[in-house]
Every structure is written in C-alpha cells, then in structure tokens.
Structure 1
C-alpha cells in the first residue's frame, strides 16, 4: 500500500528533499558544485560536483561516510537553520574559495574541508563547535565562528587562532544577529578581503535587547530557554563593523544607520549597505579598509519604506555599479546611475554578474510569472524560455544553471546547464512526485485584478455540485502564494481532493506588481489584506458560479496566513465561517522590530497602526469556529500570541480550540506532527462547514 499524501508530504519535507540547490559555478564555467540528498525521502544533504563538458555528476561529500548520523547541533547552527527554514540535515550549507577548489562546511559543529579535485575530505581540529566556515579567496585558510569568536585556521599547518574574541557574554563576532537573519536576508557576519589578508566582521552586542524566556511545558524539569528578542519599539542589538587583519590589526568601519543590510568586498573595493531604523533610507557606502573612513556612494529614500534587493551591490568587470531602485512605478535595474529596464518589468533580484553580463529575475505583466533576464552592452535578452513559469538561475564563466518550474511540471523544478546559451548538461532532481492530479486555474479577480488560484478536486465534474470553499492564503508583505509553478500547489490540491474548492489569492502588499501595490499596507496590515481576500473569494465564485458555495467558506494559514485566518473570522464572520490559524501574530507589539516597524511604524510615536492591526481587542466578536495551532518552542512568532488571544477569547466567553505543539518551532519538520496537522485541519474544517 502506498503512503498517504500527508505522510509523504511530511517525510519529503514538502517535496523539497532530493531537489538540487546551493549552486556554485567555477570561474571558467566548467564545473558546478551543488547540494542534494540522495533521493526524495533522504533528509541527509550531500555535496556534489557536475563536470559541464561530460555531464557527469560526482558525489564529493556523503555525511554518512564521514560522520554518520547528525548529532547535536551548536545553538548558532540551530538558530541559522530556523531562520533559513532549513528542514534537512547533512551538508546544508557550504562555501568555497574563488577558484572553487576547496569547500568548507560543518557537521554537528565539526569543521571539514573538501578538496573538490581529489574528493579528499579533512576534519579540522577546532577549540569548540564551529559555525559558518568560509575559505579565504586563495583557499589557504578557513575563517569560522566558535564560541562567539571569529577564528582563522591555516589549512597547511593547522595553526588556529582567534582574530576577535567576545568581550562579554552578549557579544559575538562574525555572525548575523536575529534581525539580520530573520528579516534582512543577511545570514552571514564575516567577509574575506579579496587578497585574503583580512576579514570584515560584524561585532554584535545583544546587551540592549530584552530577554524573553521560551519554556517547554511538556518538560517542567527543563529550564526555560533564554532568548534576546527585539520586539517592536524596543532596542535592537548594537552592530559594528571591523576590518580584522591577519597581522593582528583592527580598524573600525563606522556607519550611522541602524541596520547593516549587507556588505561586499571585491577587487573594486569594500561596500557596505545600511538602512535607517524607520527603513525610509538605504545607503551604499564605499569604505577604506585601511582607515575605516567611508564615502556615500548613493542614498535612496521612500516615504513608506525602502526594500533590500538580493544580489546588489555588484560590479561589472570595469567596476561599474550594479544596483536597483524604484522609479516611474517600477523596480528597475541600474547600471551606474542609469535604469536599464522598463518600469513595467519588476526586478526581483540580481542573481549573478558574469563579466559585463548582469543576470536577474523579474516579473512582467503577470506577477505569478518570474523570468530570468540578462543585460549586456545596453540590451536585454530573455534567458529563460518564453513560457509562463517561475525561473531562477546562477551564472559564471559563461555557464548558466537554469531552474525551471511551470504548471506542467508537477515533479518540481528542472535544472538545465547552459554553456554560451546552449544546453550542455542537466542536473537531475531526485524529489518524489506528489502523487496528486493538479487541477489549478490562475485567474485575476476583483477590481484590482488580484492574482488568484482556484483548485477543484481532481474527481469533480464542473457544475455537478457546489463545493465548500477553503481559502488558503499567506496574504502578507513580501511573499507570494500564487505562482505559475506546479510545486506550489501540491498540498492545496490534496486539500481540494478532500472535497473543497481551494482559493489562494495574493492581495495588496505581495510582490511582483510594483512598489505602489506593495506599499498599500502601510500603517494597516489588517484592512487591505482582508478586503482583498474577500474580493478574491467573490471573484472566484463569480468565475465558478456552479462550483463554489459562498455559504460554506473556511480559511486556513500559517504565520501571517494564520493571522489573516483569525482576522477573517473575527472581522468578517458574514463571509468566513471557520478558520484554522497556525502560529498567528495576534499582537504586533510582540513581533520583531524590523518587520513590524517597516509596515506599522514606531509604536512609541503612534500606537494607532498597532491597535488597528491587532487581534486581541476583537476577541469578543468571535462567533465562528476557530482552531488555533502553535508550536511552544517557536522563537519567531512566540506562543504568547496564541495564548493571549485564547485568554481574551475565554474572558469574552467565546468558544474556540487550541492545539499546542510541544517542542515544535515556527516550522513543523517532525513527520508525525506535520502529517497529523494536515489531517486534523481537514477534520476540523469539514465538521465546521458541514
């Protein structure tokens, strides 16, 4: 008997195991290094290398051969994986030298290097658990973090020394703080100089940040875990930058703004990107590594907020700046100070700069589609096929690794290696097939023409019966659920096959339609997103009048989607008849600084947006079935959100259901938990909408 979808969905980590990722291309374009587990149910990630000319794959590092089962992870690695939503094990991250001859990685805090030519794997002795190793550009040394210190080991002699050690228990060198990793997409805290003689390192002091305590009620004998959590309106960690020379020198690189967004150090110089606390200004600085003095290269401002775009700053071969900026209603690619893309092409990120070629991703008229483009010598060309889908890429040395997903590829992304624009090889995905018959239509609904996906049961005959509706959104800023990729809908299709018409909609605040559309949630995370879910629901019902039953509407979601689900039954019970809210934010004062203040502002200056967007005050309005689910070990959206809403509901005499998940964080990687969560949600919704 084959496994059920919920079990397979859980065991394959949502069908992500066996999918190639983490591509690094050698400078000559002849080799591609990447991560992938052996098959679609194996959670142990291995390091592989592809020879482009022959198309041959070679297994370089198999963790089972060198370390066996993954043991206890260092706290820094556990936190990094949580921030990255990493559900697999093994070699889940690595870094290489410039020539891509040496790779460094850790397993359970043990530091390793792999010679990519010979395949030799070496275990390196360290004074403590190692974290985030990065080889020097010449491949002669490895920098890593251990015990909050930034250390460097000479690969030839094994000499190991600290370049900077923490001055107190709240200080670390060389690693990203919580806000950087969770909200700014900066997962690293140290960068090698191009000549390998120094490192730029972040010094983080968490002393100003308030301490929260995350307990495990299922194990009362265990002490609560302490966490520094920068809640909205409270102090952030103090972040400073230093150039640390291998000769023992130490040069401060001061900057004025609150957030260190990213840094880049190449042969054209040292660049630092910072963002103000109110996130209305982003600055690009050029710093002198010898003195620490910096020069303002450019500053971009926005009355709402600025966006940090992946892949920039970058430089062409001659040093010309590659940047992005919003103008004329679009997010545009800049070469120097000149926009080179039209306002109608919304740039998502820059994926690579290969000589004078800039490879980037962008959406045109349909935000559900993301294409790969290249700019070279003043002209644009489409790199990905001219077929609706979601594409990604990496490029170097004339070689492009292209990832392609369409609605016709249920097995997930396909990976093609292009050499000078011609297919040279393919990299196999070993992911499991979801085993559902996808029946999805992408439509535009309402006066705002919202991107909407409608999924009907695979067994349903159009017009034969009106089905209960299940809204399945995320709905919040900076994340899409509606894309032209089949892999995005496997769980939603399974839910549809349980007897629902599933509707997914991306409303205001979601990316791909331009800066103005994203910024319509400024100072109100409740009203616009809820209005758009209602509009999309009504538009979908109008498009399928004989198949969707507006008298039986449920909604479910996780994180912001969980917030939106609870919001829906509290404020629009006339439309939504039941909700499942997983890990919902219920009080925005309990969420972190960078995310919350970006959209709602400083609560000390104006508490109005927080009051308008919070759920606690609405507790007395509940008269629909509501299931609240929360992991008690969640350090992102802490369980206090659900517990406070539950207390308010109880005080108001409003029946509801709470499902606490012991030992579960913001992710649910445990197979049994993830499987049964799907089954329990279906059971709850069927009973509530019967």
Structure 2
C-alpha cells in the first residue's frame, strides 16, 4: 500500500510539472485568430455628448445590434436596432446615423470592389417607428444622408441618385456614367488607393471613395466627375472554378501614363440643374483630392493638386455667384501631403495641418487664407487631428511629443497656449471624443500591454472608468514562453534609426544566432512602434523561439521624424531605404551573438521591393530574402504614388531604373523566395512575372509561389497559414545551422 501511495505522489508530481510547462506559439493558432484582441466596433458618439453607440455582433446566433451606452456609467441604455426584429434584414455589418439621429442607414451583403470601396444593399431604419425602407433594389455605393435627414444620395453604376425619404421618389442626377469611361461621385482606382488617408495608430482610415458632398442646407450636392476614357486598361485573369477563366478589366494609370480627367460640379436640387465649377486659374493635368462645404451653404472648398504633387491650392467656390477665390497655396520642393484635417469654424476661419516648418503641425487661418497663428510647434509631429471644441476654444490632437515610437493625446487652446497632455502612459494612445468634447474613450496599448479602452475626461485626461481590456488574452499569453521586443536606435548613414529586436528564448550572448530582418520601409509607414502585437509579431516570436534573432529598423523616408527625414528620398525612391537596411545588417553582423553568414531579410509590398534589392545589392551581407507582392519596377506602379516621390519616368528615368530590383538581378548570389497573388489589383502580378523572367534570363536560381485569385493581402480560407508555413520552412532551410 505504501508503494502504491508513493507511486501516486510521483505521478502527481510529474502531472503538475507537465501541466506547468509553458506553451509554444504555433502557426495554426496565429492564423486562426487564437490571439485576437477584443475591441469596440464602429464606435459613434451621439450628438448629446453623453452617450455613444457600438455595433455588437453575436457571431454564433448570427445577428447584429446597435446599442447605446452612457459615457457616465458605461451601462447600456438601450438597443435602437436589433436585426432579430427586422424581417427584411437579419444581419448588417455597418451603420450611419442621420444628423438628428432619428434614422440610420444599415449595410448588408457588402462585397469589396477594391481596397476600400464596396457594393451593398442598404436600408434606412426609422428609429421612431421602427420602419425600414430599402434605398435601392440594386446594390449601390456610398449612401449618404442629407443634413436634414429627408434624403439619401448614392451612386449606382457610375451615376448619382437621390432618394426622397418622404415621397419615396428616386431621382437620377447624372446620366453619362459608364464602366471604364465615366464615373460620377465615386473615385477611380488610383484616387481610392492613394488619396485615402491611413492613420497608423489602430488602423484608422479616411477612405476617399465617396466623391460627393451635401451642403449644410441639403439643397446642393458637389461631386467630382472622373473621365477615365484615356486611362490605359489593366486586366487580370480570375481562374475561379469554372472551365474557363474570366477577366477583371479596370483602368489603372501607371507612372507617366494618362490619368482620369477630373472636373468639379454642383447639382442644385431646387432647379434640378448641374453646373461645372470654373476656377480663375488654368490647370493642366491635375488632381482634386478633397472637396468640403464650409458652414456657409453656398460656399464649397476644393483642393487642387498639380500632377507633380508639390503645389496644393485651396479654393473657395461660391455656388450662388459662381465665383472662386484662391485662399491658400502650399508648395514644397519635394511633395505636399494631402490630409483630411481641414476644419471650418463658425466665422469660416479654418484649421489646417502642414509640415511647412519641418514638422507636421496645426495652423489657424482666417476666411481669406491669412495666417492667424501656428497652434502647435516643436521638433515632433502631429499624427492625428481630432477636432475643435468651440465651448472651450480647444484643439485636440495626437502627437509624437513623447518619442516618435509613442503616441499621446493633447489639448491646446486655439491661440497655441495652455497645452495639456491628456494621456499618461508610455505607448500608443488614440482617442475617440464625445460629440461635445467632454469625454474621450482612450485606446491604449504598448508592446507589453494589449489594447485597453478607458473613459477619460477631455478637460484633464483623468481616468473616469475602465471600459474594456484584454486581460483574458494577457492571462492566456502568460502560459506561453516568448521573448521581449526590445526598442533602441541604431546609428547608420548619419542617422539614428528606430529599431526593435527580439532575441531567442534562453538567449546566450556567447552563442551565434541567425538574423532575420523585417521591414516595410515605404513613405508613410512606421513598423517600429510601441504598440500591441500584430499577427506578424506572433510569427516573429515563434521564429525567435526556434533560435533566430529578429530585427526591424525604420530607415530614411519613413514618417514621424520630420520632413527632412521623410522627404530626403525624393527623386530616389527606395535608394536610401535599401542603403539603410544593408547598413543595419552590416552593423548588426559585428555583434558577437550574430552569425554574419546567416543573415536574411523579408518584406511585403514596398517591403518586398526593399528585400529584393537588399539581397541583390547587398549580396555580401544578405544570404537570403523573401519578397511578397513586391514592386519590381517602379514603371509598373500607379501614377499618384510613384510620381509623388519620383516625378514621371519621362522626367527621371534613372530614378526609376536605378532603384528597381529588375535592374539588379545579375547581382543575385543568395537564396530568394518570390511570392505573389495572381489577382493583385494593386501591385500587379506583372511585377513578379517580369522579375522572374529577368532572373531566368540571368541564369539565377530562385524559388517562387503564386497564390491563385488572391489579391494584395493574400488571404482567405487556409491561405495565410499556407503562406507563412512556406516562408517559415524557407527561413529554417536557408538560415538554419548546417552544422547541426
């Protein structure tokens, strides 16, 4: 009996030990959402400033609801829409309130067109009587309430329509819309892709798809008309499952090719007349990246940008007198950034952001475009502009004042005084303010803290209540063994570059480890940021657990360190990014724990371009590279993005050719894996096909994979897991210790 008891103790001891063994991250868990964070979906502040709405999903039951919560108590006040109670609509995926919040547009059956644009079925739900009205039997785009809530404007088949919600009548207001020729009120492919404004914090995006705007009196609509007739077409085979493939054909202006011819129009609902806006300045080959009505119902603002994108004009157009006034001109030796920050005050003075003093800051101009004052100043960047509160005369914004890898939220008076730091924790803070600017919901995360949502005072920033955190995920991850992400800077090419490093588990400084570098490197991108994990980060932790050092450094051309650091790349897109990554690799190779014979690099999109060139041009330091969906020749990419940094290929042929990977295939000596989706409408498969052919003709061996019918994101079903397994195997094979 005593032996049996002893045996029991031994078993119990080993069971305890085994159950306490830390878990390891797996590829399957990463790509099936096991580490997904909780968030607040489609957050909207109600007009009363005391409540907010959230879109809640019940994924198991398959229904959605719009629920109203109190800022003060955080308790749910009521449910205003529940799809279970709507026979015509069992499920919806998005919503938009009318200005008076008596109605809401519900979206369902949405299907993507390009990155941001969608087609869908839309309904107007009347909150007062619970009635629901279909806006159109057909799938439409961008339905938008008039400010008085009595009408909805929308686009269908490249034309604009207005539905009167009182009479039920639908009026077509443009008639020349035609696929691949004329688009009314909806942006073309390149405008949607390149003039949408992405905020890197929490992936907020102002998507420039809707190119029409109601005025404040609901009696006029301004819209941009796109004539794509002369824009060259691009086609992609879609293989599907049928016997014969189909083709997707769309207009895509590559660098130096014809863009859409754009014009600005104003439709008057009272006389049902449309007039084209004529300016007192001749433009040739230009863009209209933003339109917005002022507080005056007859005064429209429009931003005109020259094709070189180094001159931006702000116009005020008077719809009543049909006159126009140039109120502001922005010029730059390199390029001018287009934003969505223009804000009109009651007196038609306006708030504007610009990096004209070397860093992105907030400015206040009078209604005639005369500078009143620069509101923010310093060697740091305003990264998000949140708005202006008339009651307290305060401007709210997010910035890098606490370091370029961090974000904090601030308030400041319109005169530039009385600045208050509203957030206190080091990491990434992003705010969603109540309509009356009395509260804000702060979304905080850091490299060690998953997203937390708190209610804070907009006056002081003081914490009022905690709303939601990811403590469950934190507890789950505490069972896993992972390394830390260590932030630092590395000095190369005369600059201190932001960098993070993940070392292997049980790191031993006397051992030699392979190094894998990750980067994106493109203008507008920041990869070294003190915020919570992306799916890629978990993959990096996985690779580190297998004995690899992972490093990421943001080189010249990336944002948030001033205009000079970002714009030095003008005319030589990719040149300095590649030089910086090569220099970082060489400097790290001198570390005693790095095996200089086993250094690799990988990246996606611009990062794929950079990793390709690093392997080719840095063949003395890089032994392998992976390029996913890379640009291989800047001549193949779109006009707006490429010309912003290079000019046209006709003007700057060497800037295009000298910095394109396809020009350097003869230098390949290491191992190269090339990956692309066949239905990539952004960076076309053409890039990989032409690069592959150049490598073949140069008699260079390489590995490659094409993912059928996958776009630039290469996802869907089992795709991401397959892709990352392929890359993991390649890294293990090429950077593994051959002596083992």
TM-score of the aligned structures, taking structure 2 as reference length: 0.83
1:474 to 496, 520, 545: 520
Matches within 5 A, 1:454-473: 454-457=501-504, 459-463=505-509, 465-473=511-519
Q: Are 2:277 and 1:253 aligned?
A: yes
Residue 324 in structure 1 maps to residue 371 in structure 2: no
Q: 2:300, 2:317 within 8 Å by CA — same for their partners in 1?
A: yes
- Tell me the equivalent position of 1:368: 405
For residues 32-47 of structure 1, the aligned pairs below 5 Å read 32-35=52-55, 37-38=57-58, 47=66
In the TM superposition, 1:413-432 aligns within 5 A as 413-418=452-457, 420-421=459-460, 422-428=462-468
Once residues 44 and 532 of structure 1 are traced to their aligned partners in structure 2, the CA distance between those partners, rounded to angstroms, is 50
For the Cα contact (< 8 Å) 2:157–2:177, is it kept in 1?
no
Change (3 A) 1:372 1:67: farther
SS of residue in 2 equivalent to 1:11: coil
**Highest RCO, 1 vs 2 (Cα 8 Å, sep ≥ 6):** 1
Is 1:453 the counterpart of 2:464? The answer is: no
Summarize the Cα distance change of 1:54–1:530 in structure 2 as closer, same or farther, 3 Å threshold.
same
Q: 1:503 to 1:3 in 2, by over 3 A?
A: closer
Please tell me whether the aligned partners of residues 237 and 248 of structure 2 are also in contact (alpha carbons under 8 angstroms): yes
Which of residues 352, 366, 383 in structure 2 aligns to 1:348? 383
Return the offset for 1:408.
5.3
> For 1:261, what is the secondary structure of its paired residue?
strand
- The offset of 1:687, in angstroms, is 0.3
Relative to structure 1, the CA distance from residue 262 to residue 462 in structure 2 (aligned partners, 3 Å threshold; closer, same or farther) is farther
Name the counterpart of 1:387. Answer: 425
1:440 shift after superposition: 0.5
Q: After the TM superposition, which residues 537-616 of structure 1 pair with which residues of structure 2 at under 5 Å, given as runs?
A: 537-540=585-588, 545-616=591-662
Is residue 2:72 matched to residue 1:53?
yes
1:300 paired to 2:300: no
| Cα distance, 1:123 vs structure 2 | 4.2
Partners of 1:173 and 1:201 within 8 A in 2: yes
Q: How far, CA to CA, are the matches of 1:114 and 1:4 in structure 2?
A: 45
Contact 1:105-1:132 within 8 A present in 2 as well:
no
Instruction: Determine if the alignment matches structure 1 residue 230 to structure 2 residue 276.
Output: no
215, 233, 248: which one aligns with 1:211: 233
Q: Partners in 2 of 1:679 and 1:685 — Cα distance?
A: 10
Of stretches 417-426 and 143-152 in structure 1, the one that deviates more from structure 2 is 417-426
Query: Residue 444 of structure 1 aligns with which residue?
Result: 489
Any conservation in 2 of the 1:28–1:398 contact (CA below 8 Å)?
no
For residues 277-310 of structure 1, the C-alpha deviation after alignment (integer angstroms, 9 at most, x for no partner) is 0001111111112244321110010011111133
1:153-168 alignment runs, 5 A limit: 153-168=163-178
- Residue 503 of structure 1 is matched in structure 2 by 551
Q: Larger Rg: 1 or 2?
A: 2
Contact 2:483-2:545 within 8 A present in 1 as well: no
Asked whether the 8 Å contact 1:193–1:265 carries over to 2, the reply is yes
| Residue aligning to 1:30 | 50
Q: Deviations over 1:165-214 (max 9, x none)?
A: 33444212221221221111123211111111121112122112111110
| Contact map agreement 1:35 1:45 (CA 8 A) in 2 | yes
How far apart are 1:63 and its partner, in Å? 6.1
Q: Aligned-pair distance for 1:121?
A: 6.7
Q: CA-to-partner distance for each residue in 1:418-477, whole Å, 9 max, x for gaps?
A: 4644545554367966846451111010141101011123x2234253321111111111
How far off is 1:553 after superposition? 1.0
Q: CA deviation at 1:522?
A: 1.1
User: Retained in 2: the 8 A contact 1:95–1:133?
Assistant: no
Give 1:125-204 correspondences, 5 Å limit. 125-169=135-179, 170-185=181-196, 186-204=208-226
Per-residue CA deviations over 1:113-167 (Å, capped at 9, x if unaligned) read 244677x472414152121111111222221111222112222332222222334
Q: Is the 8 A contact 1:150 1:164 kept in 2?
A: yes
Is the Cα contact below 8 Å between 2:92 and 2:106 reproduced in 1? no
Provide, for residues 537-564 of structure 1, a one-character-per-residue CA deviation record: whole Å limited to 9, x for no partner: 345556xx34433321111111001111
Q: Shift in Å at residue 565 of structure 1?
A: 1.0
The Cα of 1:68 is off from its aligned counterpart by: 10
Instruction: Using the TM superposition, give the Cα deviation of residue 535 of structure 1 relative to its aligned residue in structure 2, in angstroms.
Output: 3.0
Q: 1:448 to 1:37 in 2, by over 3 A?
A: farther
Q: Distance in 2 between matches of 1:266 and 1:100?
A: 22
Q: Deviations over 1:220-256 (max 9, x none)?
A: 6022110111100011112222111223121222453
Q: TM-score, normalised by structure 1?
A: 0.89
Alpha-carbon distance between aligned partners in 1 of 2:32 and 2:586, rounded to the nearest angstrom: 36
Matching residue of 1:262: 290
Asked if 2 retains the 8 angstrom alpha-carbon contact of 1:278 and 1:305, the reply is yes
> C-alpha separation between the residues in 2 aligned to 1:352 and 1:382?
15
SS in 2 for 1:649: helix
2:100 corresponds to: 99
Q: CA deviation at 1:526?
A: 2.8
Is the Cα contact below 8 Å between 2:615 and 2:622 reproduced in 1?
yes
Q: Choose 179-188 or 100-109, whichever is displaced more.
A: 100-109
Tell me: CA distance 1:588–1:48, structure 2 relative to 1, closer, same or farther (3 Å): farther
Distance 1:69 1:320, change over 3 A: closer
Partner of 1:531: 579
| Equivalent in the alignment of 1:76 | none
Is the contact made by 1:270 and 1:286 (CA closer than 8 Å) also made in structure 2? yes
Aligned-CA RMSD value:
2.9
Deviations 1:640-677 (A, max 9, x none): 10011001111111111111000110113314111121
1:573-624 per-position Cα deviation (integer Å, ceiling 9, x unaligned): 1111111100000011110001000111111122111011111121122111
Which secondary structure does the structure 2 equivalent of 1:599 belong to? helix
1:163/1:246 contact within 8 Å kept: no
Change (3 A) 1:28 1:61: closer
